A = this chain, B = another copy of it.
């Protein structure tokens, strides 16, 4: 029978647990924080009381009293993220980030809070300050291009808040976590060479991104290593967008001696390559092999599904969270950039050179 009808059940606090286990507040606190100096028998009793009462410590109270907030802040670029969401463009960056970050946080009793900040505006500082002030996170995860934004990294550094820079290979405060773009591009190129291709086209990304250059260099390195044609006309300029991919592909396939394989630096450009190739009468993969740099959903469901380099976004974020949590329990942070391995997913857009 309901003793107090209509009453909102009062949330159970550390006091209730202490009373139930007949110990002091402090002892309960020690137990939940895995502190030293608690006799096993007592610990047992406290644990039993916690279990019985269904007690869960309040994050807010812990943060108020202690130094830890059990919160990690993941920062993404507002405009780009919202635009991606609005257009439904098939980028699953955020999802992969949540997959890696949230689950890793949960493992350690942490929570990942996802925030958008406007990097380009002069408000970064205000926005970041405000998020830090409201949340007091124990660490921050910066996604590209935030990791290379000095306003952000300096602010974080001044406040002594540990942070991870995803996709950033520069030296500096915090620590970088990235994949090896050059080697990935080289691996894709080598795969194409292995299939017998000797004329391999490459569509670059925006050159303002360091990784675009890295990828091109990896491609060139592999081309030379394979001893195949190193024709500058096989490199076309793109900017990651579908439209730029169309133009670049048209350029490549209109060459007197067109490539038999193309490596494109983004999912959208790869899809564009596929469409243009089809419209120009090239069959994929019989006449033209295509590899996508980005393993987004849209390249898996194209016809044919594309062979792709998979960026380890979830893994990088998980690593970031893990390291940040470690730093928080006093362990030293990494001293050099963490390199996380990519992988090459072979699907039906690549095949041996015909003829």
Q: Footprint of B on A, CB under 8 Å? A: 8-9, 11-12, 54-61, 63-64, 69, 82, 84-86, 88-90, 92, 94-96, 98-99, 102-103, 111, 113-114, 116, 126, 129-130, 133-136, 158-160, 271, 274-275, 278, 295-298, 300-303, 314
Instruction: Report the minimum CB–CB distance from A132 to chain B (whole Å).
Output: 8
Q: A88-B297, A300-B88 are in contact. Are A136 and B60 (CB under 8 A)?
A: yes
Residues of B within 8 A of A61 (CB): 60, 64
The 8 closest A-B pairs by CB, nearest first: A56-B133, A90-B297, A60-B60, A85-B99, A298-B301, A60-B63, A8-B160, A56-B130
Contact of A98 among B90, B94, B278 (CB under 8 A): B94
User: Besides A54-B133, A64-B64, 13 other CB < 8 A contacts?
Assistant: A11-B136, A12-B133, A56-B129, A59-B134, A59-B135, A82-B99, A82-B103, A85-B99, A88-B300, A90-B300, A94-B95, A298-B298, A301-B302
15 A-B pairs within 8 Å (CB atoms) are namely A9-B158, A9-B159, A12-B133, A56-B134, A58-B134, A59-B135, A60-B60, A60-B69, A88-B296, A89-B300, A90-B301, A92-B92, A95-B95, A271-B301, A301-B301
Q: In whole angstroms, how far apart are the Cα atoms of A60 and B135 in the complex?
A: 7
Residue pair B134, A116 in contact (C-beta under 8 Å): no
Instruction: Report the minimum CB–CB distance from A81 to chain B (whole Å).
Output: 9
In the complex, residue of chain B having the shortest beta-carbon distance to the beta carbon of A278: B303
Instruction: Report the minimum CB–CB distance from A217 to chain B (whole Å).
Output: 28
Instruction: Report the minimum CB–CB distance from A334 to chain B (whole Å).
Output: 22
Between A130, A134, A275, the greatest number of chain B beta carbons within 10 A of the residue's beta carbon is seen for A134
Residues of B within 8 A of A113 (CB): 111, 113
Contact of A114 among B82, B98, B103 (CB under 8 A): B98
Between A59, A60, A82, A92, the greatest number of chain B beta carbons within 10 A of the residue's beta carbon is seen for A60
Contact of A116 among B60, B102, B275, B302 (CB under 8 A): B102
Instruction: Report the minimum CB–CB distance from A166 to chain B (whole Å).
Output: 17
Residues of B within 8 A of A274 (CB): 303
Q: In whole angstroms, how far apart are the Cα atoms of A89 and B99 in the complex?
A: 14
Q: In whole angstroms, how far apart are the Cα atoms of A314 and B86 in the complex?
A: 9
In the complex, residue of chain B having the shortest beta-carbon distance to the beta carbon of A11: B133
Q: A111-B113, A300-B90 are in contact. Are A58 and B98 (CB under 8 A)?
A: no
Residue pair A298, B99 in contact (C-beta under 8 Å): no
